[in-house]
Amino acid sequence: MAAGLAAPLAPTTATAAPPAGGTAPAPTVEERRLDGEVPREILRRSGFAAVAPAFAHRLG
């Protein structure tokens, strides 16, 4: 009975393999919109744009 408890209780999910050939996946709709005027304005108003360089630096 104790041996059955050693198995994981939650199912695990499979992850997608990286694309063959070493090419990066196509950007998502959201990623393509990042260079637009509206996302830039949202970032500017939020104040995140001012701290983004330091945040990115700390991430590594």
In a domain, 22, yes or no: no
Residue 58's domain comprises 32-60
Per-residue model confidence as pLDDT tens digits over 23-52: 888 999 988 888 889 888 888 899 987 898
**Contact present, 47 and 56 (Cβ < 8 Å):** no
Give the total number of structural domains in the chain. Answer: 1
In a domain, 23, yes or no: no
In a domain, 42, yes or no: yes
In a domain, 47, yes or no: yes
In a domain, 56, yes or no: yes
Look up the pTM and report it.
Answer: 0.38
Maximum pairwise Cα distance, the chain: 61
In a domain, 46, yes or no: yes
Q: Which of 5-9, 16-20, 50-54 has the lowest mean pLDDT?
A: 5-9
Q: Angle CA(20)–CA(60)–CA(31) in degrees, nearest 5?
A: 50
In a domain, 60, yes or no: yes
